[in-house]
Amino acid sequence: METSRKQETGLKEEQKWERIALGVWKVRFGTPSAYTPTAHRSNEIKTEALSVLSVEQGAEPQLPFGTDDVNIKQTTRGIVVTLPMNTSEDIFGFGLQLQSVNAAGRKRYIKVNSDPKMDTGESHAPVPFYVSTAGYGLFVDTYRYATFYMGTSAEKGASAMKKEVNQPHKEFSESALYAFKRAEEERKVIIEIPSESGIDLYFFAGDIKTAVQRYNLFSGGGCKVPMWGLGMWYRVYGGSDQEHVKKLASQFREEKMPIDVIGLEPGWHSHSYSCTYEWSNLFPEPQDLIDDLTQNNYHINLWEHAFVYPAAKIYDKLVPYSGDYEVWNGLVPDFSMEETCKIFGDWHEKELIDKGITGFKLDECDNSDYNPSCWSFPDSTEFPGGMDGEQMHNAIGLLYQHMLEKVFHKKNIRTFSQVRSSGALAAPMPFVLYSDLYSHKEFIRGMVTSSFSGLLWAPEVRDCANGHDLLRRVQTVCFSDHALLNCWRIPNAPWKQVDIQKNLNNELMEETSYYTDECRKLFELRMSLVPYLYSAFEEYQETGLPPVSSVAMEYPQDEAARNLDDEYFFGKDLLVCPLTLEDGTSREVYLPEGNWYNFFTGEKIEGGRKLVMEADWNEMLVFARDGALVPVAEPVICVTEDTVFNITVKSFGTNKTGSCVLYEDDFVSFNYEALATKKQINVTVGDNGEFIASGAKTSTKYHFLNCIVKD
């Protein structure tokens, strides 16, 4: 479809429509900026996968409105786009949103910021993309602070027929007067992109699940992760020295605590705010530490941020390739420029990656409007590549990821890393978001909202009010994209002491043994599901379906699922309903239509309803779909190149059409890219109820304990 039409308003600019893949259309108006997410993309559109998705849908993808319903005009402020919106429409997306899930009737301001506590749309990773239950998704290709009014305002004259007077006044508090209310009359989506004279819009046809898949495939598909990255992570005390890190790592192995990744915090730098990217005197023999941890099968992740301290050896080289304002006395590199990426990337490659570092934590690449100190660069900052500070705030997290992922790819090493800011088209990036905010309920909500925009999210365990809080938070993180304990404030493990001051004083809890055992059980539970989660990530790469997703995405026609913000799918078949300290030992859950089974006990529960369910402090509420086959591995302490997973397939229900897939490669490199197809092991149910693992006979990574193995 390629059409063009003149606008009836504004400056009479031409609006050009072009179908760029099945179910995906591009609309161009005016002359767009040269600095956009698509201009900086590092992954090609998965056109073939988009075609396969359209075939599976069984019909030619269509948008729910015509080209004439999309109006774009130039104003003195920039670009304004308007679209139709029904009163019954529900809206999801806009990146990581910790305050609410459904954006219908709300305003969304797409500005990167750390720690926003109000529901404005600002976040660590706002994305100018949303999906609608009307049957489409929309991505606005801009780094500008775009504003989306999702049915908040009626056009002049829409209320002219209202003549009711002398109605009883029922609202006698500010909270009642200003409470959130959905409009009863038809309204519109209004999108404002400031300071631009043109824009590209991308429309994705389909229900909310299909539209999200199309957006992720348009982005380049989901990320390829190493198997070890899906294990347990532990970030050590910020005041650690080399010997403390070694001692802690040895202790984990002695206590048989499954942990794959040790993360070092700012103290490893010789100067950290801003950074030198060189080892401090706390680590006098860094290669000895790296070798010791590596020999004990740990992967090492290093904290950093992008701001370059004058003592850094790359400082002078980066002066011409940085913005005209500093942060924490350091340069702000312009990662949109090849020269910057080469200088920064070469240092990381030669001084860190080549010596054994397998990942990084990219901190503070967001913004600081809501911090006590406004530490970040101004929006007026000028960068040598052509962007201003506004654009760079929404871009730097993405560009930072692109730069480092490119280095790892060149080295044929898969990374799984962390980042505190991200944005549009991020699905191919193996980086997980985190936050300095800490409400457990908000962290659970982040599991739901991030899934609509191609983002990964870690509801990390950091501080705990007591032992019960520790268990509830560890339970949640073990059923997330990234199983991370960030213990940077305490020298001893939290299962030994949750109170920060007592931990610093080396005073251990009386219940240390109990909490150590319970945390070990949860870590082992996570490790038992690593192959299952790895398959979900593989399917994310190929189909665009995120490994963790909202219930509304899995059941797009179920209106009762649309506002759920405290339960989510982990992989394709497990519905997770986390509990918090505030919940105590019971909570209300919603199970969609059909039969469900308690993942741990096998108890059958009828769905299509809400019900209150009990779970003691060391128990969880996780449910399997009817007919699900879930591959469960014997837990390992860590994932190594020699690891062979002993798999037991768990079946739920009597449906014999269920299946599951395990993917096999070396789990660490990109060698698979040279192969025509990926090795798959398909598990199905035979006529007599037996499990059949097809393609498993030559497997070197999986050993099936209760399956008939076939070629």
Helix (H, G, I), strand (E, B) or coil at 61: coil
Rounded percentage of the chain residues whose pLDDT exceeds 70: 97
Over residues 648-695, the pLDDT tens digits come to: 999 999 878 899 999 999 999 999 988 877 899 999 999 899 999 999
- The CATH architecture to which 227-542 belongs is Alpha-Beta Barrel (3.20)
Pairwise CA distance, residues 93 & 99, whole Å: 12
Given a cut of 90, is residue 115 above it in pLDDT?
Answer: no
Contact partners, residue 531, CB within 8 Å, separation at least 6: 227, 631, 633, 645, 647, 662, 702
Handedness of CA 666, 669, 675, 677 (dihedral sign): positive
Burial category of 374 from C-beta neighbours within 10 Å (exposed 0-12, middle 13-18, buried 19 and up)? exposed
**Pairwise pLDDT comparison (413 vs 185), residue with the higher score:** 413
Mean of pLDDT values over 21-50: 97
Given a cut of 90, is residue 616 above it in pLDDT?
Answer: yes
Query: pLDDT value at position 249?
Result: 99
Mean of pLDDT values over 62-77: 97
Given a cut of 90, is residue 531 above it in pLDDT?
Answer: yes
Backbone angles phi, psi at 236, to 5 degrees: -85, 170
Pairwise CA distance, residues 509 & 493, whole Å: 11
Average pLDDT, the chain: 95
Query: pLDDT value at position 55?
Result: 83
Contact 444, 433 (CB under 8 A): no
Query: pLDDT value at position 427?
Result: 99
Q: Where are the alpha helices (DSSP H) in 155-207?
A: 174-177
Instruction: Identify the CATH assignment for 544-625 out of 3.20.20.210, 2.60.40.1180, 3.90.550.10, 1.10.1040.10.
Output: 2.60.40.1180
Given a cut of 50, is residue 12 above it in pLDDT?
Answer: no
Given a cut of 70, is residue 604 above it in pLDDT?
Answer: yes
Query: pLDDT value at position 11?
Result: 40
**Can you identify the CATH homologous superfamily of domain 2-155+174-219?**
glycosyl hydrolase (family 31) (2.60.40.1760)
Given a cut of 50, is residue 7 above it in pLDDT?
Answer: no
Please, what is the Cα angle at 251 between 432 and 508, to 5 degrees?
A: 95
Query: pLDDT value at position 178?
Result: 66
Query: pLDDT value at position 154?
Result: 84
Query: pLDDT value at position 654?
Result: 82
Q: What is the pTM of this model?
A: 0.96
Q: Do domains 2-155+174-219 and 544-625 have the same CATH topology?
A: yes
Structural domain boundaries in the chain: 2-155+174-219, 227-542, 544-625, 629-710
Q: What does each C-alpha distance from 88 to 122, 187, 323, 411 come to in angstroms?
A: 25, 11, 46, 50
Over residues 365-386, the pLDDT tens digits come to: 999 999 899 999 999 999 999 9
DSSP symbol at 424: T
Over residues 253-301, the pLDDT tens digits come to: 999 999 999 999 999 999 999 999 999 999 999 999 999 999 999 999 9
Please state whether the peptide bond connecting residue 274 to the residue before it is cis, i.e. omega within 30 degrees of 0: yes
Pairwise CA distance, residues 315 & 56, whole Å: 52
Identify the H or E element spanning 59: none
Over residues 161-213, the pLDDT tens digits come to: 888 888 888 777 766 666 777 777 788 999 999 999 999 999 999 999 999 99
Classify each residue of 477-496 as buried b or exposed e, where b means 16 or more C-beta atoms within 10 Å of its C-beta: bbbbbbbbbbbbebbbbbbb
Rg (alpha carbons) of the chain, rounded to whole number: 25
Query: pLDDT value at position 2?
Result: 53
Q: What share of the chain is helix, strand, coil (3-state, %, to 5)?
A: 25, 25, 50
Query: pLDDT value at position 9?
Result: 41
Mean of pLDDT values over 608-622: 99
